[in-house]
Amino acid sequence: MKYLLFTLFLFLPFTKLQSQSTTHKLSVEVSVDETLLNSFNRSGRLFIFLTKNPDLEPRQQIWPNPYSKTHIFAVNKDGFPKDKPLTFGPDLNWTKTTEWGLTNVPEGTYYMQVLWDQDSKESRTGAPGNLYSSKKKIELNSSKHLAVVLNQQIQKRSLKEHPLAKLIELKSDTLSNWWNKEMRIKASILLPHGYQKGKSYPIRYNVAGYGGRYTRLNRLLNNNKFMEWWESDEAPKIINVFLDGEGPFGDSYQMDSDNSGPYGYSLIHEVIPQIESKYRGTDEMTTRFVDGCSTGGWVSLGLQLYYPDIFNGVYSYSPDAIDFENYQLINIYKEKNAFYNEYDYLRPVMRNEYGEPMLSMKEFVAYENVFGPSNTYLDSGGQFSAHTALYSPKGEDGLPQPMFHHVTGEIDSLVAKSWEKYDFKRYAEKNWKTLGPKLQGKIYIWMGDMDHFYLNTGTRGFENFLKNTKDPKSDAIIEFSPMEGHCSLFSHKEILIKIKERLKALE
């Protein structure tokens, strides 16, 4: 899941506006700045962002957040004219995050931004090339028709220049053949202090929290305290690789999928060999490690489990649900509804460290529905979009088959059964006779016992299985920290120190 510090998810929930007696209609007349016409695509999805918080950039509030008080409306449009404005009225079939619509917006002060999602290469609205308007303050005290201009464009990503930072980009023949179009993969590399080409180095593959990109290395490069340590003799001589999280339906999860394609095969047989042949000086498994938090916690553990001969240790923090009998608070194999529990009570999906619910599963999915061109979470590029793309079979409409309905939450038991292939507890249980010996000494998992997204329940289920293993008895280390939340103890420096200690033990 997203670790941004936090990821699956360090997205905080949104709250409903209190009911107000005075409401107004809102329509928006949208035009494109003439300087951007050459890069304007006439087909896309239009988003209107309304927030009460003057300090935020509305278009960037893509996760439920109670402090931003952001409300989002979206509609698909083909044939957007280049040469004249186009009115998007309140009576269109908007998909929205609110119970109210643009026909009855509560009176008040808002900050509005319009985004035109015209990019077809990436799965989310922050993709380079998308157009957006400047933030506009509006006093909604009557029905209004507002004119906005798409006058800005999201720029291409770039990696900060540094002697120890490198960019890897390759065409994946595996994915290109699967998709019948060119598919490219990127990763960034942080070399150790004193790096010498041709020398043999241990290597660490870091997997981001939800949707994290290869450019997250920039955060470390800009962290003076970390870089001072990294460029000292105290830091271990380890190559760091930061894998890219982008995939066709959101995060690729670096695993093979009926919907996204063979990302796992590509990683093992294309990405890793190219990186290591160019930088590492060896391809030994004994000095190859993987780690991550949230989504990265799940992926790193999954890579160790499904490719036990490739990695010699995993450091998994706050992993997404690794036991689908505890898919957060849902037993997907037995329960009938993802939104309501057995007591017909609205199921929370997020809480604070003291257990106070902050957001319901239903609200979270409603948010994702807005970002999907299908008006469902299935192609939203969000958390449950990526889960469904990875775990589910492909549907007849070309989208992943939903495990639960996007509006009612009703669970499809047949689809839920198909998710079992990525249920780590059941996978390990089924294959323990051959898998167990290959995992000895390799598994470290950390979890906060007050994880913000109830992910500790799945990790408890996995731990209970490992405690009862035989031939061999698992020696996995699973640590639960009381009153700690999602990814709260994850640290790049601490991971590198753990790997250094592991390497010393292997000598």
Q: Please check whether residue 298 is in contact with residue 286, taking contact to mean a CB–CB distance below 8 angstroms.
A: no
Q: Please check whether residue 114 is in contact with residue 151, taking contact to mean a CB–CB distance below 8 angstroms.
A: no
**Which is nearest to 114 in space by CA: 141, 95, 93, 132?**
132
What is the mean pLDDT for each group of 10 consecutive residues in the chain (507 residues)?
Answer: 39 42 94 96 97 92 75 96 94 95 95 96 95 96 96 97 98 98 98 95 97 97 98 97 97 98 98 97 96 98 98 98 98 98 96 94 95 97 97 97 98 98 98 98 98 98 98 98 97 98 92
Q: Where are the alpha helices (DSSP H) in 142-277?
A: 173-179, 217-221, 224-230, 263-266, 272-275
What's the rounded Cα separation, in Å, for the pair 134 and 130? 13
Q: What single letter denotes the amino acid at residue 495?
A: I
Give the pLDDT score at 507.
83
SS3 of the chain: helix, strand, coil, percent, to 5: 30, 25, 45
**Which is nearest to 69 in space by CA: 14, 21, 116?**
14
**Which is nearest to 413 in space by CA: 490, 304, 334?**
334
**CB-based burial of residue 68 (10 Å sphere; 0-12 exposed, 13-18 middle, 19+ buried)?**
buried
Count of Cβ atoms closer than 10 Å to residue 153 Cβ? 18
Q: Where are the alpha helices (DSSP H) in 278-360?
A: 295-306
**Which is nearest to 364 in space by CA: 406, 420, 415?**
406
Report strand pairing: 443-448 vs 477-481.
parallel
Helix (H) or strand (E) holding 368: helix 361-371
Cα–chain-centroid distance for residue 28? 31
Count of Cβ atoms closer than 10 Å to residue 351 Cβ? 18
Q: Please check whether residue 258 is in contact with residue 173, taking contact to mean a CB–CB distance below 8 angstroms.
A: no
Count of Cβ atoms closer than 10 Å to residue 495 Cβ? 21
Within 8 A by CB and 6+ apart from 494, the residues are none
**Which is nearest to 47 in space by CA: 59, 32, 35?**
59
Q: Please check whether residue 123 is in contact with residue 371, taking contact to mean a CB–CB distance below 8 angstroms.
A: no
Q: What single letter denotes the amino acid at residue 15?
A: T
pTM score of the predicted model: 0.93
What's the rounded Cα separation, in Å, for the pair 114 and 26? 13
What's the rounded Cα separation, in Å, for the pair 363 and 348? 9
Question: 460 in helix, strand or coil?
Answer: helix
Q: What DSSP designation does 285 have? A: G
User: Angle between the 295-306 and 424-439 helix axes, to the nearest 10 degrees?
Assistant: 60
Count of Cβ atoms closer than 10 Å to residue 265 Cβ? 16
Q: What single letter denotes the amino acid at residue 484?
A: E
| Domains, the chain, with CATH or none | 23-153 (2.60.40), 165-323+423-506 (3.40.50.1820), 326-421 (no CATH)
HSE-up (13 A, CA, CB side) for residue 35: 5
Residue length, the chain?
Answer: 507
Q: What DSSP designation does 66 have? A: T
Q: What is the chain's Cα-based Rg?
A: 23
Helix (H) or strand (E) holding 494: helix 492-506
Q: Which residues pair with 314 in a beta bridge?
A: 290, 443
Give the pLDDT score at 238.
98
Give the pLDDT score at 66.
62
